[in-house]
C-alpha cells in the first residue's frame, strides 16, 4: 500500500513537471506584419488600417494557437506599435493577457521579466536609416541612430538587449527580410520573413496565409529550443548613444542629469542597467518628439 502511494506521488510529481506551463512574452509591432505594404495600413485613419489591425491580430492568434498546441502556456501579448492600441482585443485568443496603450515606461517590452521562458517578436522592422528596410525607423522619426555599448541597434536590438538583461532569450522574430538579417547579426534566432522591402516605402508581400503558416511552423520548433537558446549576455552598466534629427532636441536631452553631449545631434549616457537605459531612450524618442 505504502509503495503504491509513493509510486502515485512520483507519477503525479512527474506529470506536474511535464505540464508546467511555458511562459512566453509576445511583443507585436505592425510594419513587419504579413500583408502590410503601405504606411497607411499602419496609421490610425489610414486606408486599410482596419485590415492591418485584423492581419496583426490574426498573426498573434496563429502564434498563440501553435504555442498551446505544443502544451500548456501562459502568454502575455504586448501591443508595441504607435499608440499601442492596434490589436482587436475581442478577437484575440482569450487565453492570453494583453497589454495595451503606449504610456508605459518600457514600451515594447513592458511586462517582461525574468519569469518568462522566452520572448517572440512579431511584425518588426529594420533600424533607422536602413536601405531597403520597410518603414525602417528606431522608436520614432526623431532617432537617426542608437548605440548600446557601441553597437548600433534598432528596436529589435534594443528589445533583445533588455530581454538579455533580465535573462530572457529571443525565441523567434518575424518581419521584413532586412529586419531578419539585422537581428541575426546580433543573435542566433529563428526568423520568419513576411515581405521584401522595395526601398523604404513599398514591399513585395507574401500572402498573409503563407506568413501565418510559417509562423506556426517556426514557433513550434522554437519552443523546443527553450532551455538551449541563450539570452544575449547583458550585465552591468550600459552606455547608450543616441543621434537625433534636430540639435534642439539634443539641447533639451541635456537637461537629464548625467547626459553627455557628443556633438550637435548626439548625446550619450552611462546607465546603471538596461532598464534605466531603456526608459531614458524612450523618453528621448517619444517625449522629445514635438
For the annotated catalytic residues, the residue numbers are 137
Nearer to Zn ion, 126 or 148 (CB): 126
177 lies in the site for Zn ion, by CB under 5 A: no
Query: Number of C-alpha atoms within 13 angstroms, CB side, residue 191?
Result: 23
Cβ proximity of 186 and 149 under 8 Å: no
Nearer to Zn ion, 43 or 273 (CB): 43
81 lies in the site for Zn ion, by CB under 5 A: yes
Least distance between Zn ion and beta carbon 154 (Å): 11
Size of interface with Zn ion, in residues (CB under 5 A) = 3
Query: Site mask, Zn ion, residues 18-37, x = CB under 5 A?
Result: -----------xx-------
Of 203, 138, 196, 172, which Cα lies nearest the Cα of 60? Answer: 172
Least distance between Zn ion and beta carbon 179 (Å): 11
Nearer to Zn ion, 135 or 229 (CB): 135
Nearer to Zn ion, 137 or 243 (CB): 137
Phi and psi at 68, nearest 5°, equal -70, -30
Three-class SS of residue 154? coil
Q: How far apart are CA 189 and CA 191, in angstroms?
A: 6
176 lies in the site for Zn ion, by CB under 5 A: no
Q: How far apart are CA 208 and CA 25, in angstroms?
A: 22
Least distance between Zn ion and beta carbon 42 (Å): 6
Q: How far apart are CA 170 and CA 250, in angstroms?
A: 32
Which residues make up the interface to Zn ion (CB under 5 A)? 29-30, 81
Amino acid at each position: 500500500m505504502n509503495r503504491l502511494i509513493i509510486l502515485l506521488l512520483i507519477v503525479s510529481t512527474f506529470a506536474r513537471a511535464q505540464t508546467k506551463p511555458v511562459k512566453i512574452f509576445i511583443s507585436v509591432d505592425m510594419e513587419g506584419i504579413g500583408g502590410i505594404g503601405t504606411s497607411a495600413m499602419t496609421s490610425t485613419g489610414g486606408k486599410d488600417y482596419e485590415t492591418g489591425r485584423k492581419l496583426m491580430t490574426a498573426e498573434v492568434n496563429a502564434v498563440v494557437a501553435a504555442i498551446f498546441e505544443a502544451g500548456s502556456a501562459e502568454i502575455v501579448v504586448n501591443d508595441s506599435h504607435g499608440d499601442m492600441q492596434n490589436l482587436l482585443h475581442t478577437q484575440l485568443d482569450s487565453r492570453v493577457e494583453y497589454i495595451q496603450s503606449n504610456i508605459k515606461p518600457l514600451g515594447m517590452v513592458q511586462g517582461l521579466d525574468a519569469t518568462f521562458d522566452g520572448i517572440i517578436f512579431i511584425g518588426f522592422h529594420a533600424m533607422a536609416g536602413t536601405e531597403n528596410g520597410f518603414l525602417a525607423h528606431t522608436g520614432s522619426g526623431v532617432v537617426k541612430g542608437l548605440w548600446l555599448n557601441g553597437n548600433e541597434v534598432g528596436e529589435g536590438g534594443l528589445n533583445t538587449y533588455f530581454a538579455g538583461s533580465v535573462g530572457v532569450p529571443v525565441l523567434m522574430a518575424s518581419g521584413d527580410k532586412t529586419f531578419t538579417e539585422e537581428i541575426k547579426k546580433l543573435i542566433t534566432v529563428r526568423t520568419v520573413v513576411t515581405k521584401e522591402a522595395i526601398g523604404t516605402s513599398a514591399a513585395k508581400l507574401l500572402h498573409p496565409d503563407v506568413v501565418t503558416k510559417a509562423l506556426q511552423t517556426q514557433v513550434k520548433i522554437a519552443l523546443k529550443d527553450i532551455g538551449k537558446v541563450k539570452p544575449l549576455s547583458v550585465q552591468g552598466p550600459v552606455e547608450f548613444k543616441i543621434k537625433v534629427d534636430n540639435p534642439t532636441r539634443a539641447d533639451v536631452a541635456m537637461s537629464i542629469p548625467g547626459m553627455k553631449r557628443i556633438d550637435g545631434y548626439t548625446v550619450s549616457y552611462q546607465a546603471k542597467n538596461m532598464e534605466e537605459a531603456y526608459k531614458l531612450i524612450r523618453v528621448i524618442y517619444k517625449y522629445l518628439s514635438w
